[in-house]
């Protein structure tokens, strides 16, 4: 089985101690490629550095909605320079998060729109982060897109209606370990059957969101566990895991231009 962890934060300090073991387990699980996602200038720099030095690693650059309060034109200028590197295959993660409110709604929206413009000008696909924006992210996307936006709604956890709208815009849908969690994943397991197979990506969002099968052993998520997401997805959709894995690999390569 060939797997692409389409969204993880391997630059996180929690991987420093045993990075080689983490990557060995990923290889053993069939993970042949990973997208290391930036959330601010520092993590974007680290992601690009990793992607430059390691086989099968790709990077994205961007400012997460949580971190927009410390974003400036200077920050995005630096990020654009970083994105010049051929290993950078996406812009993100960007979006709106009205759940935690680490940055105000105005500031989040300002930098979301600004970064959408940048991604468009650089012709990079976008990694979207959305949580509790109450339809606002979709509203912005629809008002903005006279052209189709290429991108993925990572860690999708929205409603059936939101799913339909994302699909109508042409976006990919990123599925995490939430799918495996008994109570929290019940609704997602129901609607994931409605996603056309050519629009699905799988991801870990490591070190966060450890899937249920691994949760008892370890709190920290890692790319190897994307296999559990894929297997649960195949089970729920009643599809052959090998075939599904191959389709999702192709989807991910198509989106990120790999």
By CB under 5 A, name the binding residues for Zn ion: 93, 129, 205
Q: Which phi and psi (to 5°) does residue 172 adopt?
A: -85, 160
Q: Which helix (H) or strand (E) holds 5?
A: strand 3-8
Question: Measured from the CB of residue 243, what is the shortest distance to Zn ion in angstroms?
Answer: 28
Question: Measured from the CB of residue 186, what is the shortest distance to Zn ion in angstroms?
Answer: 21
Nearest-CB residue to Zn ion?
A: 129
Question: Measured from the CB of residue 177, what is the shortest distance to Zn ion in angstroms?
Answer: 13
Q: Which helix (H) or strand (E) holds 36?
A: strand 31-37
Question: Measured from the CB of residue 131, what is the shortest distance to Zn ion in angstroms?
Answer: 8
Other Cβ atoms less than 10 A from the Cβ of 190: the count is 11
8 Å CB contact between 93 and 64: yes
8 Å CB contact between 90 and 60: yes
Nearer to Zn ion, 35 or 83 (CB): 35
Nearer to Zn ion, 29 or 94 (CB): 94
Nearer to Zn ion, 6 or 251 (CB): 6
Nearer to Zn ion, 1 or 14 (CB): 14
Question: Measured from the CB of residue 165, what is the shortest distance to Zn ion in angstroms?
Answer: 19
DSSP alpha helices (H): ranges in the chain? 19-28, 41-53, 73-82, 105-122, 136-144, 160-169, 186-191, 212-215, 226-237, 241-256
8 Å CB contact between 175 and 228: no
Radius of gyration of the chain (CA): 17
Nearer to Zn ion, 67 or 205 (CB): 205
CA distance 4 to 247: 11
Question: Measured from the CB of residue 156, what is the shortest distance to Zn ion in angstroms?
Answer: 11
Nearer to Zn ion, 50 or 240 (CB): 50
């Amino acid at each position: 089985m060939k797997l692409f962890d389409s969204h993880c934060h391997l630059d996180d300090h929690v991987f420093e101690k045993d990075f080689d073991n983490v990557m060995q387990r990923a290889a053993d699980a069939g993970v042949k490629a990973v997208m290391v996602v930036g959330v601010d200038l520092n993590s974007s720099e680290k992601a690009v550095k990793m992607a430059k030095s390691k086989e099968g690693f790709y990077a994205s650059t961007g400012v997460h909605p949580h971190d927009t309060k410390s974003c400036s034109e200077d920050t995005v200028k630096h990020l654009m320079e970083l994105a010049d590197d051929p290993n950078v295959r996406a812009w993100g993660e960007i979006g709106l998060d009205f759940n935690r409110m680490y940055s105000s709604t105005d500031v989040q929206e300002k930098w979301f729109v600004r970064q959408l413009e940048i991604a468009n000008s650089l012709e990079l696909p976008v990694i979207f982060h959305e949580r509790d924006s109450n339809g606002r992210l979709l509203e912005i996307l629809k008002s903005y897109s006279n052209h189709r936006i290429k991108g993925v709604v990572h860690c999708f956890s929205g409603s059936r209606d939101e799913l339909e709208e994302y699909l109508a815009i042409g976006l990919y849908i990123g599925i995490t370990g939430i799918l495996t969690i008994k109570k929290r994943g019940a609704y997602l397991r129901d609607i994931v059957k409605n996603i056309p197979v050519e629009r699905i990506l799988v991801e870990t969002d490591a070190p966060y969101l450890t899937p249920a099968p691994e949760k008892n052993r370890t709190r920290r998520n890692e790319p190897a566990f994307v296999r559990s997401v894929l297997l649960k997805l195949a089970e729920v959709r009643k599809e052959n895991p090998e075939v599904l894995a191959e389709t999702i690999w192709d989807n991910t390569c198509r989106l990120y231009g790999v």
